A = this chain, B = another copy of it.
Amino acid sequence: MGAMEKVFSVTLQSGKITDVYFAKDIKDLSSQLSSYSQNALWVFDTNTAPLFKNLPPNRVVLESGEKNKNLKSIERIISAALDYHLARDSYFIAFGGGVVCDMTALASSLYMRGTKLVLVPTTLLCMVDASVGGKTAIDYAGAKNLIGTFNPAQDVLISCDTLRTLSESEYISGLGEVLKHALLSKDEELYNFLVKEKDKILSRDRDVVSQMVKLSIEVKNFYIESDPEEKKGIRSALNLGHTFAHALESITHFTGLSHGKAVAWGCGRALDISYELGLIDNDFYTKANNLFNMYPFDMDYRVGRGEWLEFQDAISKDKKRMSGSVKFVLLEGFGKPVLKQLDMKLVQRTVISGPAKSNNK
């Protein structure tokens, strides 16, 4: 630092607690929701609003879809809160997937510097990923999640009944993140559960899926509690598979391929490289791959040679988030993530030709 005299060090701390509730059924959820006072703003999108017979009057219904995850939607939420004369001690209640939850959480952190926030995730992806951990976001100027805050919900209400309304593709997308969590777990409880209960999971058995969501959130909690604002290199482990996934989503122009499927594929590539670098042994490599192969993920997808430059460019965009170079999340075993810079030749070979036949063990 320069030459000035440091006179004060002021510490501002805030401990925010998120309570996660599980509903036995829709009635249970409704009863919980009715416990929030009239002093609330309800945020739906055009997908979730029709799920209700009687919408509360103090509501906003946003257009669904990533293309509406923008500042204009945030202004709509804030203007509605102002119209309904909501104060700092009111609730913003989001009912939807990641887009609705991320935006409601952002608006809640901004309105009068923060209202109470309740998230009711209605997709599996949102239940196991977006709803817990406090990341809020909108896209801006073509950059995904460029604008956001850290604003953990006070309550997250999960009712796995809502998952029945999802398309097969949306449901499987959420499973991608669940399987990622199975690798990041220090014990093998989630892994074993996913193997044992595969059929009931795929048929969306409510009790089994609830248990799976609980185990999955438990894994995420460990990482976010250790590093809430992603500053210590611990929370970043939740990006396992994501650098590969973002690049794949980018070269496929987000058409057809769901986020969770891309994440599953990315986890496969992280496993390939972890194996090739000798970080994991053959047993773990096989065991981990077996899990992904049990579920409907296309793990053998290969990037075309002609697509490599675009793929590499997408990786370097991920890189811009930190001035340094991009670090990939690799594994040394269950719950043992490591962050590593990688030789791009190795990345290229892995995504184009698949894993090397032998490793250095």
Contacts and interface: CB of A to CB of B under 8 A. Distances in A.
Contact of A11 (B17, B75, B79, B150): B17
A79 B140 CA distance: 9
Contacts of A13: 13-16, 228
A71 B107 CA distance: 13
Interface stretch (A80-88, A306-314, A337-345, A352-360): A80-88
A35 interface: yes
Contacts of A3: 23-24, 28, 31-32
As for how many copies of this chain the complex holds, the number is 2
Interface stretch (A42-50, A111-119, A241-249, A280-288): A111-119
A121 interface: no
B20 A147 contact: no
Nearest to A21: B4
B16 A15 contact: no
Interface in A108-138: 109-114, 132-137
Contacts of A79: 141
A16 B75 CA distance: 28
A2 B21 CA distance: 10
B2 A11 contact: no
Contact of A16 (B8, B11, B87): B11
Contact of A10 (B5, B20, B35): B20
Contacts of A133: 10, 12
- Which of A18, A109, A147 is the most central at the interface, judged by chain B CB atoms within 10 Å of its CB? A147
Nearest to A81: B146
Interface stretch (A58-66, A193-201, A214-222, A257-265): A214-222
A147 B78 contact: yes
Contacts of A225: 10-12
Interface stretch (A161-169, A177-185, A318-326): A318-326
A149 interface: yes
A137 B114 CA distance: 12
Contacts of A2: 28, 31-35
A179 to B, nearest CB: 20
Contacts of A149: 109-110, 113-114, 149
A111 B39 contact: no
A143 interface: yes
A101 to B, nearest CB: 15
B19 A87 contact: no
A258 to B, nearest CB: 24
A320 B85 contact: yes
A255 interface: no
B114 A323 contact: no
A221 B28 CA distance: 45
B152 A10 contact: yes
A8 to B, nearest CB: 4
A14 to B, nearest CB: 6
A173 interface: no
Given A112-B321, A114-B149, 6 more contacts: A12-B17, A13-B228, A14-B229, A82-B146, A110-B147, A111-B147
6 contacts: A2-B35, A9-B20, A78-B140, A82-B141, A113-B137, A149-B149
Interface of A: 1-24, 28-29, 31-35, 39, 71, 75, 78-79, 82, 85, 87-90, 109-114, 132-137, 140-141, 143, 146-150, 152, 157, 214, 217-218, 221, 224-225, 228-229, 320-323
